Structure 1
Amino acid sequence: MNTTPQPDPRDRPARLTVGVVGAGRVGPALAASLQLAGHRPVAVSAVSDASRRRADLMLPDVPVLPPAEVLQRSELVLLTVPDDALPELVSGLADTGAVRPGQLLVHTSGRYGARVLDPALRAGALPLALHPAMTFTGTPVDVQRLAGCSFGVTAPEELRLAAEALVIEMGGEPEWIAEENRPLYHAALALGANHLVTLVAQSLELLRTAGVEAPDRMLGPLLGAALDNALRSGDGALTGPVARGDAGTVAAHVTELRRHSPGAVAGYLAMARATADRALAHGLLKPELAEDLLGVLADGASGPGRPPGSPGTPGTDGTPGTGDTPEEDQ
């Protein structure tokens, strides 16, 4: 019987064998960045042809194995599967005895904190939630983008230093997120990044419809400046017809969107209403113009947009149009 004292995994040398369960866009990039820091990827699980190609591109010569075998070979395991699949995966690995005591088990879900790893914790694993606040392409450029990337970090207090050290080794910046705040944290990132892609894609399509030959070249400087201004000044960066209270322009927008891109109308109205509320709250939108504007948005939500002052729409002087009463805030 071996009586040699075993070192605490939290005090062991930093160079670890690394396994990846789920070769989506995130896992191979994180493993490749850990490899640059001196760790050694030893196994990856991949199901689809696309994930196998991605693993081969990002982690050449690393064998593709079933998840249980990945855990068997690895001291540090990255669980990089979709959020909804994570709880079942963790439970399954723990129930089958795949999890080893002292194994660092890291998931990259933004939604969950460390508690989703409780089944593995009971099996002796060391649970870490490290979510990179970055969008991934599944190509080597992702490793470069991790430089300076913030990570949402959640872990037991005794593992906090280990979690932060791993993030720093990947080139990131650790940002501690309390367990109960993980869903809100993730919602904020999705609101900013995921919805931004949809908005930009819609804008590109509409510009092409309007005859713009290079919509990406037109939007690039504008969006870059808007993002920089928003990060610097928050709501103080709001500009455009909604923030100015140009109800007639907004009504014209709604009319054209209904004609050329009906699917974009609901999103335009929702964002315009949110913009109006924020601009009004921060004193950028004059109250006397807000009533007219909000009436146009309400009218746009219920039917075809019409210029202010026409029957059934608010008047241009800020008073209700014929047959209308001011809308209550819903």
Structure 2
Amino acid sequence: MKYLLAATISLVAIVLCGIVLWRLNLAPSTDDAYVYADTINVVPEVSGRIVELPVSDNQAVRQGDLLLRIDPRPYQAALDQARARLDTLNNQIVLTQRSVNAQQYNADSVQAGVERARAVANQAADTLRRTEPLLAQGYVSAEEVDRARTAQRSTQAELDAAIREAQQASAAVSGVDALVAQRAEVKAQIAIAELNLEFTEVRAPFDGRVVSLRTTVGQFASALKPVFTLIDTRRWYVVANFRETELKNVHAGTPSTVYLMSDTARRFTGVVDSIGYGVLPDDGGVVREGLPSVQRTINWVHVSQRFPVKIAVRNADPVLFRLGTSAVVTLKRGDATSLAR
């Protein structure tokens, strides 16, 4: 009878061990897990003294809420100065354009004088060409030919002088291209000043929670230097470290169940978002001078490597979930599509 009872107990124990191993193989679980969420450093893009800080440490904020304001007065003054420069430059362009127009009118007038002088010179040259052959025939006197030659030389000289004057008048037309180029530069400065003025207000890019706030109004904030951290509370994850022997048939989309150590009574569902593809080994594999260094000792019990599995939680409670909270994760291996249904 004693042997039968012992055999029954042993059989039951074996069956229970088999069931436990089967369940572990079907749904591996680990308590080496923690809550994770994306974070950003709240960094002002301009330097200045903080004049408004309407948030407090660990406060929840909504997208678009004001997080901090840098003193806008220097940047407003820079914008006003750039705009005043643009107004002055526009007025200067108008006045210069009037002067250019006058110069152009003068150049056109001088050019018209050149055409008149050319016509007179051509007429004098034609007269001389007609008169010179008549001198040998006795139809004109030598004095008349001399007068024609003098007229031709005089009108040609007047034409040359008119051409030089027209060249000078044309060269005097300055234009406003340089001022227009300066206006484009000033407009770019205005755009930069407007952007810097806009950067004096730092607003929340998403729903989140303020953490690591260690400053207050009056502190000088430097550009590109973090002031505090903002946790993205729109999406929560749990990073669970599973043994490599448990990752078979686990892939993106595999369903999972999560509960937190802070409240073990509540269960949350999720799916595998991704599986880590690289970890730094604790021993061996160190490369020195181009060659791997492997320890001489041999572990009689081989410890399986663990890889992080990132799980996207579907029904996370933003009040309960905190970055770094310990968690327990159970995976449901198999066909993720059928299990999800």
Which range, TM-score by smaller chain? under 0.3
| TM-score where L is the length of structure 1 | 0.23
Q: Whose relative contact order is higher, 1 or 2, with alpha carbons under 8 Å and at least 6 apart? A: 2
Larger Rg: 2
The structure with the largest helix share of the pair is 1
The structure with the largest strand share of the pair is 2
